Structure 1
Amino acid sequence: QCNIDEYDINRMYPTTHAVIGDAKATLQSLVKELGNGSSEKKEQIEKEIASTTEQAMAQYHEVYTSNAKPINPYRVYGDLMKVLDRNNSFVTHESGNTRDQLSTVYETLIPRGFLGWGNVSSLGFSFPAVTAAKLAHPDRQCVAVIGDAALSYMLGNFEVLTRLQIGLTIVHINNGGFSGYGPGFWGEGHDPFTFDVLGPEAINMSAAIKEIGWKTERVTEPSEVAPALERALAANESNQSAYIEVIASQYPLYGDWAG
C-alpha cells in the first residue's frame, strides 16, 4: 500500500508492504528502479504478477459467462469489458455492491478510464461523475453501473441530459434490495425496514425513464446483455442517453478488500 499519510496504512485491510509517499512520485521512482534492472528479472516479475492475478481472479472469470437467471452481475461486468472500447471509455460504479464488485474486476487500460471511489460514500455520485467525464471527454464511451438505491438519488436529474443532449449510459443492476440494510447475502444487515424494495414485476423503471427521452431496455436474458450494451452505446453516439435495467441476482462474491 502506498499512501502519503502513515495513519491510513493498514487501516481498512491488512497491508503486507507499506510505502509512505506521494503516489505519483513513488510510482515514478519505482518505474525508474525497475528500468535499471535486467530484462530477465523484469520478465520474471511480470510472470509472477500475471500468475498471482490469474489465481486471484479465477473465481470471477468463471461467472463472466454465466447463463444463470436472474442474471449474474459478473456476467454484466464481463460483457461490459468486451463491448466497450476500453482504450476510449470511462466507467464508474456506485456506493454499495456495484462498487465492491466492479472495483475488483474491471480492468482499466488507460489513465482515467475507471473511477473507483468511496467506502461509505454518497449514493448517486456516479451520475455527476459520469456526466463530468462525458463533458471532459466527449468522444469517450461513458458508463455508470448502479444499484437499486442509487437510482432513487439520481432519477430527478435524468431530464438534464435529455435537454442538453448528452449521451451516456446507466447500467442498473436491479437485484431487488438495498445492500446492507436488511438480511441478505451481505449478512444480517442493520435496518430491515429499509431493505425491501418493490421488484421489477411491480415497477418498470425502463418504461418510466423512456418517457424522459432516454433509450431504455430491460434485460432478463444473459445472452441479451452484450447486445443491449451495444445498442445503448449506439444511442449515445446520437447524443441520447441510455438506461439498461438488468434483472440480476444477489450474488455473494466480492474482492477480499471489501470485507
Structure 2
Amino acid sequence: GRPRGRLREVTARIRSQKDPWLAEWQPHLTSEAKPLSPYRIIHELSQVADVPNTIITHDAGSPRDELSPFWTPIAPLSYIGWGKSTQLGYGLGLAMGAKVAHPDKLCINFWGDAAIGMTGMDFETCVRTKIPILSILSNNFAMATEDDDMVLSRQKYGSTDISGNYAEFAKAMGGYGERVTDPDQVLHALVRGIRMTQEGTPVLLEFITAREKTFSTS
C-alpha cells in the first residue's frame, strides 16, 4: 500500500537507539590493539568496500556475532546471513556461489580458524575454477568461544588450540595470501586484496586477532 507518513518518525527512533550504541562500540571498531580486534577489520572493510556492489557472508560462531551487527547492507540480497551453529566453513561455498552468480561483484566470506579447518582446501577450487573471492580470516589460534565449556580438556590436551599459517597456505594453492598483524596495515591489506580479486585472483587475508568474546547481542 501507500506510505503511511511515518518514515521520519521511525527513522528518528531508530537513530536515537543506533547512535549511542555505535558510540559505545567505537573503541572496538577503531581499536589499535595487538592482536587485532576483529571489529577493526569489519569497520575498515565497510569503509573501503563498494558496499552496494558487494555480497558478504559470515561463518558459524564468532564471525556471525561480530559481522552481523556492524555490516550495513545497502542493496537487496547482498548480505547472506544464516544460523550461528550451522556447519563450520559453510560461508566459503556461499561466497563462491555468489561470485559465480554475480561475477561483477566483490564477494566476501568472513570466517575463523576453526571454520577454515573444515573446508579450507576448497580455496584451491577457487583458484582452479577461477572464482576470485575475497576470503577474510580472523585467526586467533583457538576456538575461543569454547574455552569456558572445555576447561579440563583445554588444560590437559589443548583441545581448543589451533595453529597454522593460512596466508602461506593460500599462496601454496595458487592464490594471493597475506598475513596482517599491525592495525595500521588493515586498511592497506584490504585495498590490496580487493584489487587482486578485480584482477581475477582469489584472495585470503589472514588477520591475527585477539580471542574476542565481547559481542553485541542485546
TM-score, with structure 2 as normaliser: 0.92
Assess if the C-alpha contact under 8 Å between 1:65 and 1:75 holds in 2: yes
- Using the TM superposition, give the Cα deviation of residue 113 of structure 1 relative to its aligned residue in structure 2, in angstroms: 1.3
The answer to whether structure 1 residue 52 and structure 2 residue 17 are counterparts is: yes
RMSD over aligned CA atoms reads 1.5
- Cα displacement (A) at 1:112: 1.3
Q: Deviations over 1:63-93 (max 9, x none)?
A: 2221111111110000010111001001111
- In the alignment, residue 247 of structure 1 is paired with which amino acid? I
Q: 1:205-246 CA deviation, whole Å, 9 max, x = no partner?
A: 211220111111000111111111111111111211001110
Aligned length: 213
2:197 alignment partner, SS class: helix
On the 8 A contact 2:170/2:203 being kept in 1, the answer is no
Equivalent position of 1:211 in the other structure: 172
* Structure 1 residue 48: Cα displacement: 1.3
Alignment partner, residue 110 of structure 2: 145
Structure 2, gaps ≥5 residues long = none
Larger Rg: 1
Per-residue CA deviation, residues 138-197 of structure 1 (Å, 9 max, x unaligned), is 10001111101101112221221111111111111011111433x2xxxx1145353112
Aligned to 2:193: 232
Aligned match of 1:245:
206
Amino acid at match of 2:191: E
**Percent identity for Structure 1 against Structure 2:** 29
Other-structure match for 1:96? 61
Deviations 1:101-157 (A, max 9, x none): 111211111111111111311011001100010011110001111101101112221
Structure 1: which 4+ aligned runs deviate by more than 4 Å? none
Q: Which whole-Å CA distance do the structure 2 matches of 1:180 and 1:230 have between them?
A: 30
Q: 1:178 aligns with which of 143, 149, 165?
A: 143
Counting helix residues as a fraction of each chain, which structure ranks higher? 2
Q: Is the 8 A contact 1:60 1:74 kept in 2?
A: no
Give the structure, 1 or 2, with the largest relative contact order (CA under 8 Å, sep 6 or more): 2
Equivalent AA in structure 2 for residue 214 of structure 1: G
In 1: Cα distance, 2:22 partner to 2:128 partner: 41
